[in-house]
Amino acid sequence: MKHLYIIIIAVFSFISCHESIEDRAYREAIEFTKKNCPVPVAENVVCDSMSFTNATRTVNYYFSLSGALDSTITDKNKIHEELLKMVKDSPALRAYKNADFNFSYIYQSTKNKGKRLLSVTITPKEYKK
């Protein structure tokens, strides 16, 4: 009987120490930003940081645009569709998609610091179709 109590205590200890998916997203966003950012992802596109907003369950990606991309973004629908496809196809986001997280992509100007050029949010309704 004593062994049963030890096993039960060990199980509850493991459960109480287990990281929630929200805590994991928060931690991974900080780690990604510290280890990788800023990182070029395409010509004239740099990923500046990543964050997690618990209140909206949103993983946020922040990018700076330069060169020709910095002045105008013409085809917002095409960008939205490309980001949606990327989220749908990404095995790295599987745990977050299973938890019904949102994914937000924020693009800002390099020459006009703080100016938001485009913001796209991909929701579970979109990527689970």
Helix (H, G, I), strand (E, B) or coil at 75: coil
25 CB-contact burial (10 Å; exposed 0-12 / middle 13-18 / buried 19+)? buried
Would you say 63 and 41 are in contact if contact means Cβ atoms under 8 Å apart? yes
| Chain segment 41-81, per-residue pLDDT in tens | 999 999 999 999 999 999 999 999 999 888 777 789 999 99
Average pLDDT, the chain: 88
Nearest residue to 46 via CA among 92, 103, 108: 108
Residue carrying the six token digits 């989220």: 87
- In whole angstroms, what is the distance from residue 54 CA to residue 126 CA? 20
- Is the pTM higher than 0.75? The answer reads yes
